[in-house]
Structure 1
């Protein structure tokens, strides 16, 4: 049997489009900097909203990728590479989370309230504190980044020789990723969105 042809990206075919998109990105970045200077409070919420929107898209593609491997589905083979490519953009989302950390005092009021001022907040201090918030963010984003890139790497390597060992490897990663996905996405929603209002109690959000 002939060896399957691997995946290659011919950058020369998209040089013009890449330049145009790069130019748009630079202009958008300049506008973001201006917005952050003029109105940092409003910019913080706008950035968080945009981050949550695109993170949801990438996380959704990652979810369908791990479901595909965990259930050994066949119907999704034709779209799996597109899902993997979008999920791999979680690396970019991890970088785009940095402004949220830098602008955290504009977003999360509980970070600026000292102990003893708000009794309802004091009962949550074990969870709502800057150090633990940062550690959780690193763990959540680290999981998504590592798992998504691992699945895509194994998938691309399988294109070279079609070995079933890559299928087994991706299935193992997916089995581990399913419960981790649920935990990281749920507690990420608690941290980044629900904690915007530290007085809010909910047993359904996540």
Structure 2
């Protein structure tokens, strides 16, 4: 809880100088362009087309999940009127602001690869009675409408929160806080619905016969945990460059507690989904796990369980770890496990016989990641102060103690 017993002088404002990044923006841009070009070559060359499409989907949804995770934490801050997170909130807002850009990377798949990824795309009425029963949802027009809704709604929420927050830096008006609270309260269910339906569209839709009512919550758990891990790393990176003096070990401690909470929550939802499907033993529901528990995919599935929960869980239990550099390694680990999670979700739908690595997995990952990283450094982080300078709860955040 916060200590209100003494006063603290408001700190000086901080603006990121892009020169501090050195050649990183150029490297990210050129690596991103190279990855995108190589992936596009794969998409255009017929023998590689399907593999490149699945690899692109894997990378696109991974980075989308990180951005949505940042949006969730931003909305949660305002919905709960949090004090502790004021000093790190701007970086959550910056991550969230990249969300509509990440959604643009789904466009090539919708335009050129839909019939290769989603098997229902080219089926006509009467070919599959099961698809006919789902045709009200799985049809081309509504599929496009949902992408537009994701892009507009998530983009509007993330930009509105960022804009109100930065406007408050200028005039200090309390009305911004009240409006952001309303946006946060409404943004959480909106974000939840978007990630749920997008997960059904792009990931569950890889096998339209399969379904799980817990799928959206499972993807949300991974996105929230990964979004917090990315926030930890960005905040630490800025501190190493001499910024964010307002952030101390207590803030890292709190972020570490949320990493622990969502490590547990991810495991809880994942186990519940598996247990309920295993217990019911309905073929239409078990198809997903039958595929990922056979051949070499079994090793990946077991590694995900052990490495995503059983390894970070005991580490994050200790208070001192949340206040030293070990929390950074745990954050990197969680981001790596999110990569593994997305890979195990997407690629077995193509390589049903077992793990089959491809360079297009790497090309797509560095291509999309490089472009989004360049956007973050050149178009987002330097466009505002590095923390909300006139938020009414700033001084309370500075006095945070756990």
Structure 2 vs 1, CA of residues 7 and 88 (structure 1 numbering), >3 Å: closer, same or farther? farther
What CA distance in whole angstroms lies between the structure 2 residues aligned with 1:195 and 1:29?
A: 24
* Partner deviation per Cα, 1:129-153 (whole Å, 9 max, x = no partner): 0001110111122111110011011
Does the CA-based 8 Å contact 1:3-1:161 persist in structure 2? no
1:172 equivalent in alignment to 2:147: no
1:160 equivalent in alignment to 2:170: yes
* Partner deviation per Cα, 1:20-42 (whole Å, 9 max, x = no partner): 22221221122112222331111
DSSP-derived class of the 2:215 partner? coil
1:204 equivalent in alignment to 2:214: yes
What CA distance in whole angstroms lies between the structure 1 residues aligned with 2:139 and 2:14?
A: 45
Larger RCO of the pair (alpha carbons < 8 Å, separation 6+): 2
**1:96 aligned residue:** 105
Extract unaligned runs of 5+ from structure 2: 1-8, 217-402
Aligned match for 2:116, one of 102, 106, 120 = 106
Alignment of 1:122-141 (within 5 A): 122-141=132-151
DSSP-derived class of the 1:53 partner? helix
What CA distance in whole angstroms lies between the structure 2 residues aligned with 1:140 and 1:48?
A: 16
Aligned match for 1:31, one of 24, 27, 38 = 38
Deviates more, 1:3-12 or 1:20-29: 3-12
What CA distance in whole angstroms lies between the structure 1 residues aligned with 2:134 and 2:110?
A: 20
Extract unaligned runs of 5+ from structure 1: none
**How far does residue 14 in structure 1 lie from its aligned partner after superposition?**
4.0
CA RMSD of aligned residues (A): 2.0
Structure 2 vs 1, CA of residues 6 and 155 (structure 1 numbering), >3 Å: closer, same or farther? farther
Deviates more, 1:3-12 or 1:59-68: 3-12
**TM-score w.r.t. length of structure 2:** 0.48
**TM-score w.r.t. length of structure 1:** 0.91
Structure 2 vs 1, CA of residues 19 and 110 (structure 1 numbering), >3 Å: closer, same or farther? same
What CA distance in whole angstroms lies between the structure 2 residues aligned with 1:19 and 1:182?
A: 35
* Partner deviation per Cα, 1:51-99 (whole Å, 9 max, x = no partner): 1111111111100110000100111112111111111111211211211
Aligned match for 1:145, one of 149, 155, 169 = 155
Does the CA-based 8 Å contact 2:64-2:103 persist in structure 1? no
What CA distance in whole angstroms lies between the structure 2 residues aligned with 1:72 and 1:175?
A: 10
Does the CA-based 8 Å contact 1:58-1:87 persist in structure 2? yes
**2:64 aligned residue:** 55
What CA distance in whole angstroms lies between the structure 2 residues aligned with 1:166 and 1:6?
A: 19
What CA distance in whole angstroms lies between the structure 2 residues aligned with 1:51 and 1:17?
A: 21
Structure 2 vs 1, CA of residues 19 and 35 (structure 1 numbering), >3 Å: closer, same or farther? same
Compare CA radii of gyration and give the structure with the larger one. 2
What CA distance in whole angstroms lies between the structure 1 residues aligned with 2:18 and 2:165?
A: 21
DSSP-derived class of the 1:117 partner? coil
Aligned match for 2:25, one of 18, 33, 57 = 18
What CA distance in whole angstroms lies between the structure 1 residues aligned with 2:146 and 2:176?
A: 30
What CA distance in whole angstroms lies between the structure 1 residues aligned with 2:14 and 2:179?
A: 19
1:186 equivalent in alignment to 2:196: yes
